[in-house]
Structures are given as C-alpha cells and as structure tokens.
Amino acid sequence: MSNDQYAYAVGRVRAMETRLLDRSKIERMVEASSAEEALKVLGETEYAEYLAGLKNIYDYDTMLDQELHRVYLELHRFSPEPELVGLFACKFDYHNLKVLLKAQKMGEKRDELLVRDVGNIPLAVLIRAVNEEDYTNLPSKMRQAAEQISEAFRLEANPQLVDLLLDRAMFLEIFEKLEKLDSSYLKEYFTYLVDLINIKTYLRVKRTNNSREFLEQALLPFGEKDMTRLVQLVDPLEVLVDRLMSSRYAQFIEDGIQTYQKTDTLTRFEKLADNFLLKHVKKAKYVTFGPEPLAAFILAKENEIKVIRIIMVGKINQLPTEEIKERLRDVYV
C-alpha cells in the first residue's frame, strides 16, 4: 500500500498524540499524597470521562480497559490497513484463550482476567471453541496450538504448556502478518521484543534449574539472538553479559542482569527493556506518512496504561514515592 494513503490516518494520530500523558502529569501522579489524589490528575486528561463511573480507587483497571477499547476502536475506523491494528490486537485473543483453556483444564474460573472488546476474535467465539473443544474456526496457528494443548492435557494437566504453545503460535502469526505489512520498522520492533523475551526466559529457566530441552521449548523463534548457541545454562550470568555487550542491547543489559543477580527480581531488567523498545517506537515521530505513526501510537498508549497501572498499584499499596519512580517507564511524548 502506498504511504500516501496514510496521510489522513497520520493526521488523526498526530492529533491524538497531543493528548497522551506527558512527563509532568506522570510526575504529579507519582508525587500525589494518595491513590485518590493520583486519580484526580487524570481528571484533566482523556481519562476524565471514565472517572465518574468508578466505584472506588480499586476499580481503576475498568477505566484503563475502557480507554484501551476506545483507542483500538478508533484506530480500526480510520486505519487504511485493518491488518495493522489487528497485528497488535491479536495478543488479546491469545491472552483470552490462555485464560479460558486454563479455566477449563484446571477448573479455575478467572473471568476477571479476560480482556473484552479489544481483540480480533469475539470473546463468545473463543468461549464456544473451548467449551466444545472445536477450534476449527480459529486462525490456523492458534487452532493448531489449542488442539495440541487439548491432546496433551488428556495425558497430563500442565498449565505451563498453555503459555508455551500459545506464545509460540502468537509470534508465528505475528511474523506471518508482518510479511504482508512489509514494514522494516515493525519487523525490527517485534524482533527486538522476541530477543528480550528470550533473554528473560533464559534467566528464569536458569534460576529454576530447568533442562536445556525445556529452554529450547520455551524460547521463541524470529529473534536475532539464538540463546541456545549464545550461552549454556551451566555458564555463569557474567558470560551472558559479556556475549551481549557487542549487541544492540549492550546499553542496558549489564545493569539489568547485575540488578537481577542482587535482587532476584526482573523488575529493573523489564523496565530497561521496555525503555529500549520505546526508544525504537519513538522513531515514528519523524515519519511523515506510513503505518509507523499508527503502530507507534498503539504502543505509546499501551505504555501509558502500564505506567498508570504501576503508579496506582504503588499508591494503593502505599509504596514510597522513590520506589514507584524506580519502576516507571519512559513516556512517548
């Protein structure tokens, strides 16, 4: 598709960008004396229309879900290529299928975890597929994974398998869609994302003393870095750091992994990884026409929602201001 066909859509997105939360509003939320006061800051933003409907501060997730739904619906309306928005929406389909399969296979009903009205597949279709164990109407990669999970659960109930197989299927579907969209910007973003997920997977598998076979099953395809060749599970983490110091991830990998070694949590690594990805996302600011600004806005909004959630969780749990700041991601604007 010609980039000129994105002229109107990019104009719409540039206007929407001006309403993203800037650093000053984020700082005011962080410095607020309570969760209630933090929410009041959002009364000056696009989130204001949702505040009146909140029953209490613990209901803030409803507000975030409503805003996410609004953004995806609006972008669907004016995107020249519906597949572009669908590329990002498919993760909600896979999330919902994970929740539904685990509920069915493990007898744990968790409807509150379902994401409604954002994905590509109506929730009713996924519910029916799981209840009837008939996945023929689902996308091929998703269908194959769901059928494999159902077959495996007849032998052994393993909820971890649900995540492993559906994550792999999701990225197979994403990279299949990327071929049609033909955007180097998007391919780079998802390649970096896969690499960072795989690094985190390696760290978790090593900590839990799982086998090489399990690691190979858990790692996702399409990354630049082949973790099974880059480093062995028996190697100290310093080897991983050393071998990534010549990569594009060198700017934060040492800090992230060393902090992980000291704290046994991936909080710092995840923050630095998110900021690295956002730096790539921001390249779309300099694109005049094309799919990049629309993709960047979706990712910027999802990042904004993550930042709000971090602040609200911190405020509700009365964490020190400095501790909340340490967890915050950068913002797009």
pLDDT tier, 2 (very low <50, low <70, confident <90, very high otherwise): low
Closest to 220 measured CA to CA, from 179, 187, 171, 266? 171
Distances (CA, A) of 19 to 15, 41, 184, 299: 7, 14, 27, 15
Sequence letter at residue 285? K
Compute how many other C-beta atoms are within 10 angstroms of the C-beta atom of residue 246. Answer: 8
Contact present, 96 and 150 (Cβ < 8 Å): no
Domains 1-81+308-333 and 82-182 share a fold: no
Question: Which pLDDT value is given to residue 3?
Answer: 63
CATH number at 82-182: 1.20.1690
> What's the whole-number average pLDDT of the chain?
94
Q: How far is 80 from 215, CA to CA, in rounded Å?
A: 40
Task: Give the tens place of pLDDT for each residue, 170-193.
Answer: 999 999 999 999 899 999 999 999
Closest to 270 measured CA to CA, from 283, 282, 260? 260
Tokens for 260, please give them: 């992980």
Q: Would you give the end-to-end CA distance of the chain in angstroms?
A: 28
Judge whether residue 157 has pLDDT over 90. no
Record the pTM. Answer: 0.94
Question: Which pLDDT value is given to residue 16?
Answer: 96
Domain boundaries defined on the chain: 1-81+308-333, 82-182, 184-290
Task: Give the tens place of pLDDT for each residue, 244-289.
Answer: 999 999 999 999 999 999 999 999 999 999 999 999 999 999 999 8
pLDDT tier, 197 (very low <50, low <70, confident <90, very high otherwise): very high
Mean pLDDT of 213-232: 94
Mean pLDDT of 313-324: 96
Task: Give the tens place of pLDDT for each residue, 91-111.
Answer: 999 999 999 999 998 887 888
- Count Cβ atoms within 10 A of the Cβ of residue 51 and give its class: 0-12 exposed, 13-18 middle, 19 or more buried: middle
pLDDT tier, 1 (very low <50, low <70, confident <90, very high otherwise): low
Percent of the chain topping pLDDT 70: 99
- Select the more confidently predicted residue: 9 or 158: 9
Compute how many other C-beta atoms are within 10 angstroms of the C-beta atom of residue 71. Answer: 21
Taking each helix axis from N to C end, the angle separating 159-181 and 82-106, rounded to the nearest 10 degrees, works out to 170
SS3 letters across the chain: CCHHHHHHHHHHHHHHHCCCCCHHHHHHHHHCCCHHHHHHHHHHCCCHHHHCCCCCHHHHHHHHHHHHHHHHHHHHHHCCCHHHHHHHHHHHHHHHHHHHHHHHHHCCCCHHHCCCCCCCCCHHHHHHHHHHCCCCCCCHHHHHHHHHHHHHHCCCCCHHHHHHHHHHHHHHHHHHHHHHHCCHHHHHHHHHHHHHHHHHHHHHHHHCCCCHHHHHHHCCCCCCCCHHHHCCCCCCHHHHHHHHCCCCCHHHHHHHHHHHHHHCCCHHHHHHHHHHHHHHHHHHHHCCCCCHHHHHHHHHHHHHHHHHHHHHHHHHCCCCHHHHHHHCCCCCC
CATH of the domain spanning 1-81+308-333, picked from 1.20.1540.10, 1.10.357.10, 1.10.645.10, 1.10.132.50: 1.10.132.50
